Amino acid sequence: MGNERSDAPMSPEEFVEPALMISGLCFSYPDTPNVLEDVNLKVMPGERVGLIGPNGAGKTTLFLQICGLLEPSAGQIVVLGKPVKNRDFRPEVGLVFQNPDDQLFCPSVRDDVAFGLQNMGLSKDEVEARVTEALSTVGCLELAERPVHHLSEGEKRMVSIADVLAMWPRLVMYDEPSANLDIRSRRRLIRLLQASKETMLIAAHDLELVLEVCNRVVLIDKGQIIVDGNPREIMGDDRLMENHGQEKPHSLVPHSHKSNNRPTCADSDSPGVIKPQARGSNPGPSPNG
Ligand SMILES: Nc1ncnc2c1ncn2[C@@H]1O[C@H](COP(=O)(O)OP(=O)(O)OP(=O)(O)O)[C@@H](O)[C@H]1O
Ligand SMILES: [Mg+2]
């Protein structure tokens, strides 16, 4: 009777294939053992998962396995229904590298963004249209003819993101995407991530970005998943965060009007506070200077 159908309603997750399924993943570098230990992770389409954890926790290593650049020592990774194979070119899976110099290598920005598209076998017109679209999205269209090695670090970051987005990926991994970005570019990035429909994993020490963008957080330390769940609950837990080299993001710390216990104008009767002078009591500069 094994083929009998259950009358119980299926949960939505049973209809939908996970975007990412990692089971029993272990990995060691030749000279660094147990960098990842029994990692299990299921990510559904459209989820935005923040991957947080201290330096050396294994975040980048995990990304390199998911996109097939490093082969697991044990375990299995299935992305968008297909097992990951070593060095398989899969344009539907994108990685924005932590170090843009590992990603950008063509003579010009335009060539770099076009490279993956040409490998996909797209027509010249389609390649041009996608390059223009991706560079406009990240605000770097005016850099198109520049040599990549002349770009500033923040410009390189945004061009690396264009490289990946041009391929219209369905799963994107961003490794420290806000590193080196100025306030304006960081805000552009956050808006872009918030508006994106693809599934994403974002490894970041910029916890405020994770709070603004992600609906789920995975805390990883010493190659193991410590906790997986709601970003505000996890990042708001002082002890958990401190135990793993993190700090509660500033925006989750309750604020009173008295920041840093410094007296405000409302406290102006406190000792040591210089009261603003009553209107009209300050003679101001004389008309003669
Ligand atoms: N090519 C390599 N050969 C040997 N060990 C490596 C190599 N790359 C990384 N490691 C080691 O693997 C561990 C995990 O490194 P990984 O770069 O994945 O950490 P991370 O969580 O991304 O850290 P960060 O926050 O600093 O980017 C570290 O102990 C690191 O020293
Ligand atoms: Mg890293």
pLDDT at 149: 95
- Mean pLDDT, consecutive 10-residue stretches, the chain (289 aa), reads 52 80 98 97 98 98 97 97 94 97 96 97 98 97 97 97 98 97 96 97 98 98 98 98 97 74 44 41 40
CA 54 to ligand 2 center in whole angstroms: 9
Pair 159, 182 in one domain: no
Claim to verify: residue 35 and residue 178 sit in the same structural domain: yes
* Residue nearest atom 24 of ligand 1, based on CA coordinates: 55
Element (H, E) at 136: helix 124-137
The answer to whether residue 76 is domain-embedded is yes
87 and 114 both lie in a single domain: no
Residues 218 and 163 occupy one common structural domain? no
| Range(s) of the domain holding residue 155 | 94-168
- β-strand partners of 217: 50, 229
Closest residue by Cα to atom 27, ligand 1, is 55
**Unique residue bearing structure tokens 């104008």:** 265
Q: 34, 61, 173, 226: which to mutate for ligand 1, most atoms within 8 A of CB?
A: 61
Residue 139 lies in a domain: yes
> Is residue 210 included in any domain, yes or no?
yes
Phi (first) and psi of residue 198, to 5 degrees: -70, 160
Same domain, 79 and 65: yes
Question: Which of the ligands is closest to the CA of residue 61?
Answer: 1
**What pLDDT is stored for residue 260 in this prediction?**
53
86 and 183 share one domain = yes
Give the CATH number, domain containing residue 25: 3.40.50.300
Residue 197 CB coordination number (10 Å): 8
Question: Are 88 and 98 contained in the same domain?
Answer: no
The label of the residue with tokens 């076009």 reads: 114
Q: What is the DSSP letter of 259?
A: G
**How many domains, the chain?**
2
Q: Same structural domain for residues 28 and 87?
A: yes
